């Protein structure tokens, strides 16, 4: 079994996924358990409940899950008032059509399927939004989308969840719910997922590109590095300054990789036993082990 996820906020979630797999639960149960823990944690402001709002002070969430056995997926974008959008996305995976629902349609689907209508904007998030407005500042801010990949028992599943960019426009959607840039999984090869500025990640179809490279025989670490450096280089060659993007990946044999165009990119991995907090540097050429404040 290998469980990998973006950012240090995933530490407890990766432990939950490991334990669910040990109990014999499905890969989908494990990956949703991982992501639900982060979505429901009020101190994490980039995913689910308590996410940073858009410019209008409304929290709009995106999420997706992809089953690498069948290439089936469920995606949700711009959903309001539902704390755990990845669990809503999961219900769409086996639908023959309607795999990607947005806004009011996504919300109505969630309500019909027993999800509760809940306020997502918490006091700390509202305070920060009001401060920004008072200062007359509405610039976009980055975020820590959670993306996870699990390879276990011959299966590969990827999933994401995010509140997107702080101060985004109403209705703005990034890479996270889009199969190709935000996540990809093929149980014959492996899976990948991205975090960072969706507008740039989409330009490189980054997660699919990593799975494609692994399918050509690259290791996950090589594939992550080539894909991230390649997109960074292509954007620069076209006169653009790349914004931040980072990726994690696992192949079907459970080997993992991570890379980023940031100086340091934290991620969490478990290959069966210990849950490790690691830092990727130099486009994935250097991986360092660190202590993590969420390791309690
Ligand atoms: N990567 C998340 C977003 O851009 O919304």
> Does any domain span residue 111?
yes
Q: Which of 143, 166, 193, 200, when mutated, tests ligand 1's pocket best, judged by the most ligand atoms within 8 Å of its CB?
A: 143
Ligand 1 midpoint to CA 153 (Å)? 30
> Does any domain span residue 179?
yes
- The answer to whether the CB of 193 is under 6 A from ligand 1 is no
Ligand 1 midpoint to CA 143 (Å)? 7
Please report, for residues 96, 120, 156, 224, 250, the alpha-carbon distance to residue 188 in angstroms, rounded to integers and kept in the order given. Answer: 22, 38, 8, 18, 12
> Does any domain span residue 160?
yes
Longest Cα–Cα distance of the chain, Å, equals 53
C-alpha to C-alpha distance for 37 and 39, rounded to whole angstroms: 6
Question: Which atom number of ligand 1 is nearest to the Cα of residue 199?
Answer: 4
> Does any domain span residue 121?
yes
Ligand 1 midpoint to CA 183 (Å)? 12
Q: Radius of gyration over alpha carbons of the chain, in Å?
A: 18
- The answer to whether the CB of 246 is under 6 A from ligand 1 is no
Q: Which residues of 157-194 are buried (b: 16+ CB within 10 A; e: fewer)?
A: bbbbbbbbbbbbeeebbbbbbbbbbbbbbbbebbbbbb
What residues pair up with 150 in beta bridges, in sequence order?
A: 3, 157
Determine whether 205 is an active site residue: no
C-alpha to C-alpha distance for 204 and 293, rounded to whole angstroms: 33
> Does any domain span residue 143?
yes
Assign residue 149 the CATH number of its domain: 3.60.20.30
Catalytic residue among 6, 84, 145, 195: 145
- The answer to whether the CB of 51 is under 6 A from ligand 1 is no
pLDDT score for 92:
98
Range of the domain at 111: 2-290
When divided into structural domains, the chain yields a total of 1
> Does any domain span residue 133?
yes
> Does any domain span residue 24?
yes
> Does any domain span residue 296?
no
- The answer to whether the CB of 145 is under 6 A from ligand 1 is yes
The tens place of each residue's pLDDT in the chain, 296 residues long, gives 999 999 999 999 999 999 999 999 999 999 999 999 999 999 999 999 999 999 999 999 999 999 999 999 999 999 999 999 999 999 999 999 999 999 999 999 999 999 999 999 999 999 999 999 998 877 888 778 999 999 999 999 999 999 999 999 999 999 999 999 999 999 999 999 999 999 999 999 999 999 999 999 999 999 999 999 999 999 999 999 999 999 999 999 999 999 999 999 999 999 989 999 999 999 999 999 988 777 76
Its pTM stands at 0.96
Ligand 1 midpoint to CA 148 (Å)? 14
- The answer to whether the CB of 242 is under 6 A from ligand 1 is no
Q: Angle at CA 104, nearest 5°, toward 101 and 107? A: 75
């Amino acid at each position: 079994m290998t469980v990998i996820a973006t950012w240090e906020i995933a530490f407890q979630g990766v432990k939950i996924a490991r334990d669910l797999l040990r109990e014999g639960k499905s890969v989908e149960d494990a990956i949703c358990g991982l992501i639900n823990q982060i979505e429901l944690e009020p101190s994490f402001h980039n995913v689910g409940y308590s996410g940073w709002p858009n410019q209008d002070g409304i929290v709009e969430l995106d999420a997706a899950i992809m089953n690498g056995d069948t290439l089936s997926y469920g995606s949700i974008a711009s959903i309001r008032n539902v704390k755990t959008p990845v669990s809503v996305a999961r219900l769409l995976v086996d639908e023959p059509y309607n795999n990607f629902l947005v806004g009011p349609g996504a919300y109505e689907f969630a309500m019909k399927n027993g999800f509760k209508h809940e306020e997502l904007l918490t006091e700390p998030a509202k305070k920060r939004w009001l401060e920004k407005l008072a200062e007359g500042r509405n610039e976009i801010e980055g975020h820590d989308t959670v993306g996870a990949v699990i390879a276990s028992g011959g299966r590969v599943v990827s999933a994401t969840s995010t509140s997107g960019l702080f101060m985004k426009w109403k209705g703005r959607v990034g890479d996270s719910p889009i199969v190709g840039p935000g996540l990809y999984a093929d149980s014959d090869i492996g899976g990948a997922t991205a975090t960072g500025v969706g507008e740039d990640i989409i330009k490189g179809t980054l997660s699919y590109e990593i799975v494609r490279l692994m399918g050509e025989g690259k290791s996950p670490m090589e594939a992550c590095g080539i894909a991230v450096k390649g997109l960074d280089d292509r954007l620069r060659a076209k006169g653009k300054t790349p914004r931040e993007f980072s990726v994690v990946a696992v192949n079907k044999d459970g080997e993992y990789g991570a890379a980023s165009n940031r100086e340091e990119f934290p991620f969490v991995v478990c290959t069966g036993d210990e849950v490790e907090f690691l830092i990727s540097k130099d486009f994935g050429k250097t991986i360092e082990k660190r202590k993590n404040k969420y390791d309690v």
